Chain A
Amino acid sequence: EVRLVESGGGLVQPGGPLRLSCAASGFAFSSYWMSWVRQAPGKGLEWVANIKEDGSEKYYVESVKGRFTISRDNAKNSLYLQMDSLRAEDTAVYYCARGSAAAYWGQGTLVTVSS
């Protein structure tokens, strides 16, 4: 069974950093692109970033470029999202998903950016 478990969310002040993690199990993690998708409270889904199987290619939505970094550790079956210079508009539930086409999703972790 594919399982994705996000962690690391919480309350952070504007301008601060936060690192999200996603622990994967039930599939060959190193064989799949992985993605982050977010959903602001009461809003729709927004694709944030994805990363190739070996980490050699990374893509981001314009609004997070230069502030967020997606990475992975295939030895640990883990996906990460380092978020710096956080803004109020980054407040959202962040989901990790398997594949660039988001076939399977974790349960999400809430990030709240507020002073």
Chain B
Amino acid sequence: DIQMTQSPSSLSASVGDRVTITCRASQGIRNDLGWYQQKPGKAPKRLIYVASSLQSGVPSRFSGSGSGTEFTLTISSLQPEDFATYYCLQHNSYPYTFGQGTKLEMK
């Protein structure tokens, strides 16, 4: 199975900060990776697909990059509604696997 190691597991930041979250795959997954945002009690929402494409309707402050084994999600200027938990998902080979999540909290 492909392991997705997400870091950090938690992060404290302030409105206006630039934030980067990383996912590392245990083997190459090309660009078969998505990023998801989940708020408490809600379903996840996809932000980024195929590593760097912005989902329709998602603010442009979110961006993704990477290919192969290392991927990043960047929020260029944190907004109050961005405090949530973020997950990556590899859909390159079965079983698909998520990172363990990054909880983004207000400093």
Contacts and interface: CB of A to CB of B under 8 A. Distances in A.
Interface residues of A, number: 20
B80 interface: no
B100 interface: yes
Interface residues of B, number: 22
A45 interface: yes
A102 B43 contact: no
A101 B98 contact: no
Max count, chain B CB within 10 A of own CB: residue among A37, A101, A106: A101
Nearest to B38: A45
Nearest to B56: A103
Contacts of A108: 43
Contacts of B96: 47, 50, 100
Interface of B: 32, 34, 36, 38, 42-46, 49, 55, 87, 89, 91, 94-101
